[in-house]
A and B are shown apart, each in its own frame.
Chain A
Amino acid sequence: MAHPDTTLESRSRRNLLKVGSLALGGLVIGFSLPFPDRSFAEQVLSEGPEDQPMSNATALDAFIGIDRDGKVIFTVPKIEMGQGAQSGLAVMIAEELEIGLDQITLKEAPPNEAIYNDKLLNFQATGGSTSIRSNWEPLRQAGAAARLLLIQAAAQRWQVGADQLRAENGRVLGPNGQSFGYGELVDDASKLPVPENIPLKPAEQFKLIGKPTRRLDTPAKVNGTARFTIDLVVPGMKYASARACPVLGGTVRSVDDRAARKVPGVIDVIRLGDAVAVIGEHTWATFAGVRALEIEWDYGDNANIDSAQMEREIKEALDKPGALANEQGDIDKALKDAAKTFEAEYQMPFLAHAALEPMTCVAQVRPDAVELWVGTQVPVRAQTAAAEASGRPAEQIIVNNQLIGGAFGRRLEVDFIHQAVAIAAKVDYPIKLTWLREEDTTHDMYRPHYIDRFAAAMDAEGRLLGWRHTIAGASVLARFAPAAVPDSGLDGDAVEVAIHPIYAMQNLRVNYVPVPPKALRQSWWRGVGPLRGTYMLESFIDEVARSVDRDPVEYRMELLGSHPRAQAVLRLATEQAGWGEPLEAGHGRGIAVQEVFGSFLATVVELQVTEDKGIKLKRLVVAIDCGQVMNPVSVKSQIEGGTLFGLSAALFNEITVSKGRVEQSNFHDYRQLRISEAPPVETFIVESREAPGGVGEAGTAMIAPALVNALASANGTRIRRLPLARAGYYVI
């Protein structure tokens, strides 16, 4: 339990630091709550007393706790799902606190929007490649504040000026060789006021930031001891699986569960509105039980919808005005007067996330509380879903966040948590819900299908005068956060990258036409808006350049005059890839360059294509300027993995719908890139002291346009609709 001792507010800092002590002795550092006119005690108490769910973090120990043994507990505001963010954030704390990474113990943050809201996303979430960007200043300040307090405490003990002391490796060192471990100083430090000024280390003094460091979560992941949601067992727990109506919006009419109940190990069959769940003594019994269910469905309104109709509706939307996103100059006049014009239309298909850990959630509904053990990107939304499903107030919902076995955006959604709690509410023991892979593929929340239409105007020399760009597809934001969408329907995510093209042009109009989703629930997928926009813009600018017989790199370079960081990565990637060097027949190189998630990237694909459409990927070269790097190994890993993740989808993936049902079900028909098809990814990082940019999704956003541009260069065929497999291409 934390007790406030002192608070100090400095108007110069966005997040005001707080200091206090642990109940059993120790120092805690957190941020202030956002109501400066209310007393600190009021704000902490308004979250409920310490033994209540919401208050297992107060504002006080929100981020750092140091106990009398010198152990540092870092409550991480972001979840680990492979991106290495937790370790990157720990580097920030360790750097300023002058400790080794091995001295840090990570703790998952509970749901608490007052404390853990992401300042870029404005809600508590791990997504949008924000983890490092959002926390770069506040977490370093928290670490530095703790260090200054510990030094001050030592200065008082030794009766010397704090300026004669320094901190190193978890100890405060005095002028005459004396020293204290942090644990010896925490009680004194917790009684001191937060320092007025908290200077941050200049980059030249970084010991950890920007250096290769080992991730903290990996040792347990190579020996089988890491626990994901699917691995958890809580006392008294039973297992559960479920089958929901194959058509979205359908409901259960009747269930014949006689065969299911005969499966050895099956305990119970639970009927929900749109699904039937089987509870058993082990997962296998629940899977076999689900397969043995005979369910008659009322399929509802979506039962006759298929992909062709959905595509037609998106295409028709392109002829509507929709919402104006941006307008400069007079594009209609420019197109009318242009010496040359070029028009094209591009499509991206529906995609599933297909994370390797299917949807899983452990839930217990008991008289005093509802407790969840679940890997989630959105702890507060998880709490809200559990409250809705159980009819309990949010204060009674405890969320224990867990390591995630891949999410790629899927766990920004809480549908499976709602289902787990609905099942748990009908029994008096905890259940672990595990979806079959087939359920996961057919009941995902899919990346929308988008169609974009462009018309570009050029002068007689082929110089770009501007373009008209219309985007059509479902608005994820309108469902996810309706308040963030204005009356016009403009979805700020759907128009990212497109709304302010990186390329200089005097005339521009960008419109977005939302298409109300049918038959599929639609959501974010790794790369979100920037992935969408980058595929569209980088395909189109490439075609524009080729239409006027210009080299696609030179053409881009000329239009990037006001973006020197983009020019620099374009130069670096093309140099490293040998752009312009002669290629054999059937070989080609393609380029894409963009600013995404606050980082600048250029990706070059070199490939060979055979006459029967076999593609051999020769080289993937990525240059990235993501500002200040936390850990170059993590940046490279994310670029390598993110690039291949996007490549897999661009080559193979499309979710299709027939009679309202998703047609793909498992990895045999929703296939993914395998090691034998994966070329090495060569990553080059631009050294930079700019503020950090995002990297988790950046590589993914770049690869599809670079791939189709390379194919066009190799065989003259322009693929305007992903995936390549749809046009008969395969990997050799």
Chain B
Amino acid sequence: MLTLSINGADLEVDVPEDMPLLWVLRDVLALTGSKYGCGIAQCGACTVHLDGQAARSCVLPVGEVKGRKVVTIESIGNTDLGQQIQQAWLEDEVVQCGYCQCGQIMSAVALLEKNPQPDDQTIDQGMAGNLCRCCTYTRIRSAIKRVAQA
């Protein structure tokens, strides 16, 4: 049994320690907002926060998460910044298919927490790990700027 801190709650899971966090979240804890896209930390669809930092949960063995705080898209709206980002995503009509957007939002929140007033280059650097196959990049940039300027 492993005890994990997920979205502020301590949860016990009976899984192998080398199982990536992504699959524990999705298939054991029914938190399916974090998505599988590549399994090799290339697309960012699985992005969660680990102790406040953006992390790719598809390559993160759950055993390494013990004693650390995991936040997923399901609770990011409980923070002011998370809520603002989600709202900006709607205001700027960022979303197309939506599959990558939970990961995008998690990366955007981590970026703005570290750097509340990012310029274009900082946004590009902070978000370059998240692929969007619908290529909503223009609007991701404007939504992040909307929150930065608010």
- Which A residues fall within an 8 A CB radius of B? 80-84, 214-215, 217-228, 230-231, 233, 239, 264-265, 281-284, 287, 354-358, 403-408, 434, 436-437, 633-634, 637-638, 640-645, 647-648, 666-668, 672-676, 678, 680-681
Contacts and interface: CB of A to CB of B under 8 A. Distances in A.
B139 A406 contact: no
A221 B98 contact: yes
B4 interface: no
Contacts of A228: 35, 99
Nearest to A263: B16
At the interface, is chain A mostly helix, strand, loop or mixed? Answer: loop
Contact of A215 (B73, B93, B134): B93
A408 B96 CA distance: 12
A279 to B, nearest CB: 13
Interface of B: 15-16, 19-20, 23, 26-28, 30-40, 42-43, 45, 72-74, 77, 86, 89-90, 93, 95-102, 105, 123-125, 127-128, 130-141
Contacts of A645: 133-135
26 contacts: A82-B96, A215-B93, A218-B89, A218-B98, A221-B101, A223-B33, A224-B102, A226-B98, A227-B32, A230-B36, A283-B36, A355-B97, A355-B133, A356-B133, A357-B97, A358-B37, A405-B99, A407-B97, A437-B36, A640-B138, A644-B138, A645-B133, A667-B131, A672-B133, A674-B128, A675-B124
B42 A666 contact: yes
Q: Name which of A83, A218, A225 has the most chain B CB atoms within 10 A of its CB.
A: A218
A239 B35 contact: no
A-B residue pairs, 9 tightest by C-beta: A224-B33, A82-B97, A221-B98, A405-B99, A644-B135, A82-B96, A282-B27, A224-B73, A231-B32
Q: Name which of A82, A264, A265, A642 has the most chain B CB atoms within 10 A of its CB.
A: A82
Contacts of B73: 223-224
A406 B134 contact: yes
Contacts of A407: 97
Contacts of B93: 214-215, 218, 633-634, 637
Given A264-B16, A645-B135, A356 B30 contact: no
Contact of B136 (A226, A637, A648): A637
A264 to B, nearest CB: 5
Contacts of B132: 356, 675
Q: Name which of A84, A225, A404, A674 has the most chain B CB atoms within 10 A of its CB.
A: A674
Nearest to B16: A264
Given A224-B102, A644-B135, A437 B125 contact: no
A675 B30 contact: no
A202 B137 CA distance: 36
Q: Name which of B72, B86, B140 has the most chain A CB atoms within 10 A of its CB.
A: B86
A282 B33 contact: no
B128 A82 contact: no
A411 to B, nearest CB: 11
Q: Name which of B28, B30, B137 has the most chain A CB atoms within 10 A of its CB.
A: B137
Contacts of A217: 95, 98
A110 to B, nearest CB: 22
A405 B35 CA distance: 10
Contacts of B86: 222-223
A42 to B, nearest CB: 41
B124 A82 contact: no
Contacts of A239: 27
Nearest to B42: A667
Contact of B131 (A218, A434, A436, A674): A674
B28 A357 contact: no
A407 to B, nearest CB: 8
Given A223-B33, A676-B124, A437 B98 contact: no
Contacts of B28: 282
A275 to B, nearest CB: 19
A637 B96 contact: yes
Contact of A356 (B27, B95, B131): B131
Contacts of B34: 224
Nearest to A633: B93
Q: Name which of A224, A265, A358 has the most chain B CB atoms within 10 A of its CB.
A: A224
A406 B73 CA distance: 20
A378 to B, nearest CB: 17
Contact of B133 (A227, A282, A354): A354
Given A221-B98, A666-B38, A675-B140, 15 more contacts: A82-B98, A220-B98, A222-B90, A223-B86, A224-B34, A230-B35, A405-B97, A406-B133, A408-B133, A434-B36, A437-B39, A637-B136, A641-B134, A641-B136, A674-B131
Contacts of B33: 223-225
A404 B97 contact: yes
Contacts of B95: 215, 217-218, 221-222
Contact of A675 (B38, B90, B137): B137
B26 A283 contact: yes
B136 A214 contact: no
B19 A284 contact: yes
Nearest to A218: B95
Contacts of B39: 287, 436-437, 666
A406 B99 contact: yes
A81 to B, nearest CB: 6
B131 to A, nearest CB: 5
A407 B134 CA distance: 10
Contacts of A287: 39
A633 B139 CA distance: 11
Contact of B30 (A233, A283, A640): A233
Contacts of A633: 93
Contacts of A676: 124-125, 127-128
A404 B93 CA distance: 18
B40 A668 contact: yes
B99 A637 contact: no
Nearest to B91: A214
Contact of A357 (B74, B89, B99, B123): B99
A436 B23 CA distance: 13
B141 A356 contact: no
B119 to A, nearest CB: 13
A630 B93 CA distance: 15
B105 to A, nearest CB: 6
Contacts of A226: 98
A253 B91 CA distance: 55
B58 to A, nearest CB: 10
A667 to B, nearest CB: 4
Contacts of B135: 640-645, 647-648, 673, 678
B141 A675 contact: yes
A260 to B, nearest CB: 15
A47 to B, nearest CB: 31
A338 B53 CA distance: 67
Given A224-B33, A282-B27, A219 B131 contact: no
Given A224-B33, A674-B131, A668 B42 contact: yes
Contacts of B19: 282, 284
A228 B31 CA distance: 13
A81 B43 CA distance: 19
Given A214-B93, A356-B99, A672-B133, A224 B45 contact: no
A552 to B, nearest CB: 26
Contacts of A358: 36-37
Contacts of B38: 437, 666-667
Contacts of B31: 224
A231 B36 CA distance: 10
A218 B128 CA distance: 23
B24 to A, nearest CB: 8
A80 to B, nearest CB: 8
Nearest to B107: A675
